[in-house]
Structure 1
Amino acid sequence: MLRQSEPARYSPNSSKQMLPPPELAQVSHRVPTSLPTYRDPVDNLDGRGAVEGWSRLHGEDVSGSRLAVGWIRFVHLLARRLPGANPDVLSACGVVAAASAVGAAVLGGRWVLVAALLVVVSGVLDGLDGAVALRTGRARPLGAVVDAVADRLGDVCLVALLVLLDGPGWLGAAVGAAVFLHEYARARAQGVGMTGAGAVTVAERPTRVVVAAVACLSAGTWPAGAPWLGWEWGTTCLVLWAVLAAVGGVQLVAAIRRVLTPGR
C-alpha cells in the first residue's frame, strides 16, 4: 500500500493513471512536442509544407531523406484530388488490394503481374489515407489505430504473397514475426514516453511493399528465378526482407535506447 503522502508510481501493467518514473521526465526534451491539432484542416500542404506536416504529425523529421520527401509529396499531390475521401475507407481499401494480390498470385502465370500492380496500389493507399486525413483535418487517434491495424493486415498479405511465390514457409513466418516485433517495440516505447517513430529505418512499411512488388514483377517476367542465385523469387525477396528487418531492428533499438535512456 502507498502511504498517503507518496505519489503514485509508474506501472506499465496498471490501468490507473499514475505518474511516470523520474527517469522518463528527461525524455521530453529529446522529442517534438508541437504536434498539430487533430481536427484542424491544413491547406498549405504542398511541397515543403507537406513534409513539415507529416513530420509534425509523426514526431519525426524526415526532411533529410530524399526518398521519404518524394513519397510524401507524391501522396499529398494525390490527396488534393480526393478532398471528400474517408481516410478509414482508404485504409480498408489498401487491405483489400493487398489481399487481392494474394488471390492473383494463387492463380499463377501472368496473374502475378496483376499481383504486383495490386501491391503497388495497396502501398499508395497506405500513404494516401494519412495524407487525406491531414489535409482535411480528419487526423485523429482512432484513425491512427485503424491505420496501424490495416498496415499489419497488409504485412501479413505481403508475407503470404512471397510464400506463394515459392518462398520457404519457415522464413516467411520468421519475417512476419520480425515485422510484428519491430512495430510492437516501437509502440511499446511510445507508450512509455517516446514521441514519434524513434527512427525511420530501412525496414519500414514502404520497403516491405517495394520488396513484395519486385518479387511479383520478377516472378511474372522471369519465372525461372533469380539469375546467379538459382533461387525462386519468393525465396530471394524473403531473404532480402529478413536482412533489411535485421538492420532495421538494430536501428530502431538504438533509437529507442537513445531516446529513453536518461542522460544520453
Structure 2
Amino acid sequence: MVGTRQLLNWDEYAVAWARLHGGFDPRRAGPAVGGWLRLAYGIGAGLARARVAPAMVTLVGLGLSVAVPLLADRPAVAGVFVLLAAMADSVDGAVAVVSGRATRLGYLYDSLVDRLGEGCWLIAFWLVGAPGSLVVAAGALSWLHEYIRARVTAAGMKDIAVVTVGERPTRVSVAVVGLVLAGWVGALQSDLPAGTITVVCAVWVLLAVVGVAQLLAAVHRGLRD
C-alpha cells in the first residue's frame, strides 16, 4: 500500500502505461523493450512500496546525466551512467503509474529532464571529440522530434501511430554504445575515441533526420484524415 492506494499489478500497470503512451501495450513489445519495461515496473513497484516519490527518482536520473560529461575522460564509465539515467527515467514513470501518482506536472518535469539529460550526453560527445556542429545538429533534431509530437498532441491528434527510428530509446542506445565503444577503442589507441564518437554522433543525426521525416509523414496522414 502507498497511503490508501493499492499498487497496480503488471497487467493493470500495462493498461495504465499504454494509456499514457499512445496506446502502445508493453505486454506486446519485443523481448528487449518488453524486458526493459518489465524491469522498470519491478523496480518502480519496489520503490513505491518504500514510499519513494517519483520526483526523487527523476532528480536522481538528472544527477546521473549531469555526471556524464564530467566523466568524459572515461567514456565507458560515462556510457554506464547514461544507461543508469535512462533506467531512472523509466522507473520514475513506473513509480508514478503503479502508485497512482502520475500527474501532468510530473509528466512536464520528466520531459524537461529528458531533454536536459540528452544535452548532457551530447556535451560528453563533444568533450570526447565530436565536432560541435554535429553535436548541435543531433540535439536540435532530437528536440524537433519531441516538439513535433507535443504540438501535434496539442492540435488534437491523440494517437500518433508510428514509432520512428529517432525515438528516445534509440538515442539512449546510441549514447550508451557510442561512449562505451569510445572508451574501448581508447584503451587500444589514444587518438581513436574522437573519430569513433564523431561517427556515432553522425549516426545519431542520421537516425534523427529519418525519424523526423517518419513522424512528419505520419502526422500529415493523420491530420489530413
Could you say which TM-score interval applies, normalised by the shorter chain?
Answer: 0.7 to 0.9
RMSD of the alignment, in Å? 2.3
1:41 to partner: Cα distance:
5.5
What is the 5 A alignment of 1:14-163? Answer: 43-46=7-10, 48-63=11-26, 64-66=28-30, 67-83=32-48, 84-105=51-72, 108=73, 111-163=74-126
Whole-Å separation in 2 of the counterparts to 1:231 and 1:112: 11
Whole-Å separation in 1 of the counterparts to 2:105 and 2:174: 29
Whole-Å separation in 1 of the counterparts to 2:23 and 2:136: 30
Aligned equivalent of 1:189: 152
Whole-Å separation in 2 of the counterparts to 1:50 and 1:136: 9
Under a length normalisation based on structure 2, what TM-score does the superposition of the two structures give? 0.87
Whole-Å separation in 2 of the counterparts to 1:231 and 1:164: 9
1:251 to 2:214 alignment: yes
Aligned residues: 216
Gaps of at least 5 residues in structure 2 are none
Structure 1 residues 254 and 42: CA distance shift in structure 2, 3 A:
farther
Under a length normalisation based on structure 1, what TM-score does the superposition of the two structures give? 0.75
- Rg larger for: 1
SS in structure 1 of the partner of residue 220 of structure 2: helix
- Opposite residue 179 of structure 2, the aligned amino acid is C
SS in structure 2 of the partner of residue 222 of structure 1: helix
Structure 1 residues 226 and 87: CA distance shift in structure 2, 3 A:
farther
Whole-Å separation in 2 of the counterparts to 1:182 and 1:200: 11
Gaps of at least 5 residues in structure 1 are 1-39
Whole-Å separation in 1 of the counterparts to 2:12 and 2:166: 26
Conserved? CA contact 1:75–1:124, under 8 Å:
yes
Whole-Å separation in 2 of the counterparts to 1:55 and 1:42: 19
1:226 to partner: Cα distance:
11
Whole-Å separation in 1 of the counterparts to 2:61 and 2:88: 5
1:49 to partner: Cα distance:
4.2
Conserved? CA contact 2:128–2:194, under 8 Å:
no
1:199 to partner: Cα distance:
2.6
- Opposite residue 85 of structure 2, the aligned amino acid is S
Conserved? CA contact 2:182–2:194, under 8 Å:
no
- Cα deviation code 1:13-42 (max 9, x no counterpart): xxxxxxxxxxxxxxxxxxxxxxxxxxx966
Which structure shows the bigger proportion of residues in helix conformation?
Answer: 2
Q: Percent identity?
A: 34
Conserved? CA contact 1:226–1:236, under 8 Å:
no
Which stretches of structure 1, 4 residues or more, deviate above 6 A after TM superposition? none
Conserved? CA contact 1:101–1:116, under 8 Å:
yes
Whole-Å separation in 2 of the counterparts to 1:123 and 1:41: 27
Structure 1 residues 181 and 226: CA distance shift in structure 2, 3 A:
farther
Conserved? CA contact 2:96–2:102, under 8 Å:
yes
